[in-house]
């Protein structure tokens, strides 16, 4: 058995030692220090030596952890400019009003969170007073990702500077009246204030990284110089458990995003208790971020600890701080000095002697109050260091107390995340602690009052002056007056109207061809942002590589292996394509940043993100919801769509449900086009609505989801006649009739209406022919480009009827008078076409691919799910048999004939 204490071989053992004698001397020196001064002294010297090596650029593996102390020593802290006493009074007012708002709201049962902002107040206030650039200065200002649970504190500050009034605060979490405040940062609900949704947790940090990266992309491509914008992401230490929180750390360091700072509020608590009860979350995060290449700044202890560290001549205090688990640190927060003397200091003789020099009041000040995240001086030093560091992003690990200043009933209690109110007595104690001029008489009928020093008070003037110097209010969302983008040349879209002739073309290829034409447009071509998660060749997009280039901040430092080929892999500093590797989440974060550039930077960008349809909505639907909240605009394209169309891939690739998920998103306009000319018409309409002149009543803050297929099929010419384009956009139009298809039905033949979407329309057309030739049934074929848009129109018509307005749903108008029953067919679950069933006046039935997908040929898969042409014929005959329009025996005959 290997001796665990034996010196293990290292990578250096694989390298030749040019001077073994010198090496032995260094090793002997280390042994001597350990023997004479103890292993702690030896470890101290080694760490300092490694830090020295790192600081001078010697190539050595980085230390992943440092001591559990502040990164910036007190002697190196810069002075805080401005009036610290004034800033303290402003912070006190904001603390009070944040707590009052939630407590008053609790009477209505709407909830709210008090403890998070109480712990993070100085993290925000220091930034607002000295660092966060607003949007009224030069450039785009900074981008602030506010921790969702801290929203009451942000509202309190907006109340103090006059952007909100008492009525707004009283309507916190009560939005239906029109002047309420959303629970968390929701741009769609409060679009003049919030820029970035940060709840669900984990999406904020991921989006912040890609926002910082997209800022660099805009600058590199010459769209807009946003190099002065800085991205600040405020996060909780518990939030870092979410995999999305750390999914892109390596990207941020690899691309040197020094325009990005994470501020992690390490109050050591998550929703139910300690973040790392038996461990240390700060040390864990430090190692994780350092390992990923980030600059790490720890701001753990306040000035009260300075005396303790000066008395620690043996290093025993630092060692003890490293070994105490987080849950015990929380316990110290709630215990008296005697307990702390015994449990913390009593573990080491050197600490026992140190504690004799400290009064009980000093011990309580250190362990109850003094944290690095609660002092403007410490926070200012950390922020300044972050902005000055170049070449990598910075994470600030700021230790705080959850529920700070809210009283003993809140501070560090496991349940404080669920505690929604303070009692009147607790508010009075808080008032005294914060030294606020609020009298007992202002508590009328037990209702806590809001506090405000006056619109012309020194506090408000100071606050507004500081924000004016930094470029205006923050946070703030601005939609700049951007002129509508000119429509691309009609030729790009019209070229699809004539069809593909004898050539088979998949709709995926048709979409890519359309994009190739649109990116060449002189007016708008540069504004397209192609986004792909390492599947460009699957979607036939490799031809875009040499012409557009793949964005890389380093350009191309190597000769690509396929350089001698026409469609070689080309990276460029000003590349237009964002090829993100195997990360749907990262690609969606890209899309969100690009789709909201019209607001963030006043630059309309047109992103399209093309992905395996199965893995878009299924894996990242939460981000699609975030996209809708952030009022993003652009095109999501689910390629290789359908349950039976992608051959050979099997269950986890066969998409039969993405339109179901997409239908739940109010901002998503979901289309399942069958033909190339439909794809062109939908993209054309999307460009008009989102980037051109939206029609009255149309919301431009939507995004389009198109499913496109990889099955090469004949692309017909666009039918002639009025209303085709309108029908494509609205979701339904008649593609042909039995007569126009020249199927020559007999007089008085039974008739049925066949509705098909996407690739299913090809089976429907085959079924139309079989019904006419083998069963004497006349079928009309309709292309249902969007079941979801048909349903939404019908829902709006229903709502209008309840208001006393006469309105007929479009689907009913389109099908009005159509003879016979309706049979709807889709390559998706039946609930996709069933969305419109209740508004169809004819007898209605549907076919779809329900269940798990499977790997087989397309023909076999369609027979398995019962959606092939023969299955459609049998279902159509069954509908007609119910009505007595064909013999009942015809259904059995058809089943036997087709082997069903």
The DSSP string of 626-645 is: HHHHTT--EEEEEES-SSSS
Over 60: is that where the pLDDT of 2 sits? Answer: no
Cis peptide before 475 (omega within 30 of 0): yes
* Separation CA 580–CA 255 (nearest Å): 13
Share of the chain above pLDDT 90, in %: 81
HSE-CB for 311 with a 13 A CA cutoff: 15
The pLDDT of residue 741? 87
Query: How many CB atoms within 10 Å of residue 423?
Result: 13
The pLDDT of residue 1? 42
Residues in Cβ contact with 253 at an 8 Å cutoff, skipping those fewer than 6 apart? 292, 293, 294, 392, 393
DSSP-derived secondary structure letter, 269: B
Over 70: is that where the pLDDT of 866 sits? Answer: yes
The pLDDT of residue 112? 86
* Separation CA 521–CA 485 (nearest Å): 12
Task: Report the candidate in 571, 606, 569 with the shortest Cα–Cα distance to residue 591.
Answer: 606
Note the pLDDT tens digit of each residue in 320-379.
999 999 999 999 998 999 999 999 999 999 999 999 999 999 999 999 999 999 999 999
The pLDDT of residue 139? 87
Dihedral of CA atoms 823, 826, 832, 834 in degrees, nearest 10, equals 10
The pLDDT of residue 8? 43
Residue whose tokens read 């103090």: 160
* Paired tokens of 213: 């990266």
Over 90: is that where the pLDDT of 39 sits? Answer: no
How much is the average pLDDT of 111-125? 92
Least confident of 49-63, 117-131, 408-422: 408-422
Give the gyration radius of the chain's Cα atoms.
33
Pure H helices in 115-202: 115-130, 151-160, 166-170
The pLDDT of residue 140? 94
Give the confidence band of 579 by pLDDT, cuts at 50, 70, 90.
very high
Over 70: is that where the pLDDT of 420 sits? Answer: no
Dihedral of CA atoms 458, 460, 461, 467 in degrees, nearest 10, equals 140
Over 50: is that where the pLDDT of 9 sits? Answer: no
Question: Average pLDDT of the chain?
Answer: 93
* Separation CA 433–CA 407 (nearest Å): 9
HSE-CB for 81 with a 13 A CA cutoff: 7
- In our burial notation (b when 16+ CB lie closer than 10 A, e otherwise), range 783-814 reads bbbbbbbbbbbbeebeeeeeeeeeeebbbbeb
Pure H helices in 63-198: 84-106, 115-130, 151-160, 166-170
The pLDDT of residue 648? 81
Answer with the residue of higher pLDDT: 830 or 115. 830
The pLDDT of residue 415? 54
The pTM is what?
A: 0.94
> From residue 58, how far is each of 26, 44, 51, 294, 623 by CA, in Å?
17, 19, 10, 18, 42
How much is the average pLDDT of 455-469? 97
Note the pLDDT tens digit of each residue in 71-100.
999 999 999 999 999 999 999 999 999 999
* Separation CA 579–CA 788 (nearest Å): 30
Q: What angle (nearest 5°) sits at the alpha carbon of residue 896, between those of residues 892 and 900? A: 100
Over 60: is that where the pLDDT of 430 sits? Answer: yes
Give the confidence band of 25 by pLDDT, cuts at 50, 70, 90.
confident
Note the pLDDT tens digit of each residue in 240-289.
999 999 999 999 999 999 999 999 999 998 888 899 999 999 999 999 99
The pLDDT of residue 13? 55
Residues in Cβ contact with 76 at an 8 Å cutoff, skipping those fewer than 6 apart? 381
Dihedral of CA atoms 583, 589, 592, 593 in degrees, nearest 10, equals -120
The pLDDT of residue 5? 46
Cis peptide before 884 (omega within 30 of 0): no
How much is the average pLDDT of 699-720? 95
For residues 404 and 328, the answer to whether their CB atoms sit within 8 Å is: no
For residues 734 and 780, the answer to whether their CB atoms sit within 8 Å is: yes
User: What strand order describes the sheet that includes 295-299?
Assistant: 143-145, 231-236, 260-266, 394-399, 295-299
The pLDDT of residue 449? 96
The pLDDT of residue 583? 94
């Amino acid at each position: 058995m290997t001796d665990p204490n034996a010196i293990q071989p290292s990578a250096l053992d694989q390298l030749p030692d040019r001077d073994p004698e010198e090496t032995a001397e260094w090793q002997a020196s280390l042994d001597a220090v350990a023997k004479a001064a103890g292993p702690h002294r030896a470890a101290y010297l080694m760490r300092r030596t490694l830090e020295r090596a790192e600081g001078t650029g010697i190539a050595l593996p980085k230390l992943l952890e440092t001591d559990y102390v502040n990164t910036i020593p007190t002697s190196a802290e810069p002075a805080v400019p401005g009036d610290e006493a004034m800033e303290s009074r402003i912070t006190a007012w904001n603390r009070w009003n944040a707590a009052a708002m939630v407590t008053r709201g609790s009477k209505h049962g709407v909830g709210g969170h008090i403890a998070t902002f109480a712990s993070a107040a100085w993290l925000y206030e220091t930034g607002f007073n000295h660092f966060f650039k607003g949007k009224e200065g030069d450039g785009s200002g900074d981008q602030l990702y506010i921790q969702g649970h801290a929203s009451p504190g942000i509202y309190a500050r907006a109340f103090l500077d006059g952007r909100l009034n008492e009525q707004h605060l009283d309507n916190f979490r009560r939005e239906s009246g029109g002047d309420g405040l959303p629970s968390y940062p929701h741009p769609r609900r409060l679009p003049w204030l919030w820029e970035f949704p940060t709840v669900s947790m984990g999406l904020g940090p991921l989006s912040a990284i890609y926002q910082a990266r997209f800022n660099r992309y805009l600058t590199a491509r010459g769209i807009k110089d946003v190099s002065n914008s800085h991205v600040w992401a405020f996060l909780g230490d518990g939030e870092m458990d979410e995999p999305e929180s750390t999914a892109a750390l390596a990207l941020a360091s690899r691309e040197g995003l020094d325009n990005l700072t994470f501020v992690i509020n390490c109050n050591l608590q998550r929703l139910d208790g300690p973040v790392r009860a038996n461990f240390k979350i700060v040390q864990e995060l430090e190692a994780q971020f350092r390992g990923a290449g980030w600059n790490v700044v720890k701001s753990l202890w306040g000035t009260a600890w300075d005396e303790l560290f000066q008395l620690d001549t043996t290093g025993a205090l630092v060692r003890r701080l490293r070994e105490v688990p987080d849950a015990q640190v929380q316990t110290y927060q709630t215990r008296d000095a005697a307990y702390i003397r015994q449990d913390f200091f009593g573990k080491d003789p050197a600490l026992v002697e140190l504690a004799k020099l400290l009064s009980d009041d000093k011990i309580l000040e250190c362990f109850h109050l003094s944290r690095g995240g609660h002092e403007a001086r410490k926070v200012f030093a950390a922020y300044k260091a972050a902005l000055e560091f170049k070449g990598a992003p910075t994470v600030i690990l700021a230790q705080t107390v959850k529920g700070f200043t809210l009283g003993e009933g809140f501070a560090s209690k496991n349940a404080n995340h669920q505690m929604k109110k303070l009692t009147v007595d607790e508010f009075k104690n808080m008032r005294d602690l914060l030294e606020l001029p609020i009298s007992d008489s202002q508590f009328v009928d037990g209702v806590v009052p809001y506090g405000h020093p006056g619109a012309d008070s020194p506090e408000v003037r100071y606050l507004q002056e500081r924000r004016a110097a930094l470029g205006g209010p923050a946070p703030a969302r601005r939609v700049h007056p951007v002129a509508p983008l000119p429509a691309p040349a009609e030729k790009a879209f019209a070229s699809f109207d004539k069809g593909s002739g004898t050539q088979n073309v998949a709709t995926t290829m048709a979409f890519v061809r359309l994009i190739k034409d649109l990116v060449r447009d002189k007016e708008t071509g540069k504004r397209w942002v192609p986004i792909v998660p390492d599947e460009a060749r699957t979607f036939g997009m490799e031809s875009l590589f040499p012409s557009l280039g793949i964005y890389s901040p380093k350009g191309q430092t190597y000769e690509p292996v396929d350089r001698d080929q026409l469609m070689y892999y080309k990276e460029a500093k000003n590349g237009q394509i964002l090829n993100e590797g195997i990360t749907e989440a990262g690609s969606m974060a890209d899309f969100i940043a690009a789709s909201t550039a019209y607001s963030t930077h006043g630059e309309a960008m047109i992103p399209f993100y093309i992905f395996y349809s199965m893995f878009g909505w299924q894996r990242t639907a939460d981000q699609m919801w975030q996209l809708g909240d952030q009022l993003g605009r652009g095109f999501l394209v689910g390629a290789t769509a359908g349950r039976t169309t992608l051959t050979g891939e099997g269950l986890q690739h066969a998409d039969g449900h993405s339109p179901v998920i997409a239908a739940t998103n109010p901002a998503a306009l979901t289309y399942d086009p069958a033909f190339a000319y439909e794809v062109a018409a939908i993209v054309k309409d999307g460009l008009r609505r989102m980037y051109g002149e939206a029609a009255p009543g149309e919301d431009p803050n939507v995004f389009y989801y198109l499913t496109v297929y990889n099955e090469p099929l004949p692309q017909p010419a666009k039918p002639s006649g009025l209303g085709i384009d309108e029908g494509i956009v609205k979701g339904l139009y008649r593609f042909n009739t039995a007569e126009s298809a020249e199927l020559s039905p007999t007089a008085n033949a039974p008739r049925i209406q066949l509705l098909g979407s996407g690739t299913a329309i090809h089976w429907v057309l085959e079924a139309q022919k079989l019904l006419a030739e083998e069963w004497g049934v006349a079928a009309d074929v309709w292309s249902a480009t969007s079941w979801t848009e048909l349903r939404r129109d019908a829902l709006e018509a229903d709502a209008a009827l309840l208001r006393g307005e006469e309105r007929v749903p479009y689907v009913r108008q389109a099908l009005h008078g159509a003879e016979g029953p309706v049979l709807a067919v889709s390559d998706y679950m039946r609930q996709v076409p069933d969305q419109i069933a209740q508004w169809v006046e004819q007898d209605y039935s549907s076919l779809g691919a329900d269940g798990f997908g499977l790997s087989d040929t397309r023909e076999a898969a369609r027979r398995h799910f019962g959606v092939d042409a023969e299955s459609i014929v049998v279902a159509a005959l069954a509908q007609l048999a119910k009505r007595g329009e064909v013999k009942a025996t015809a259904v059995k005959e058809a089943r036997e004939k087709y082997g069903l």
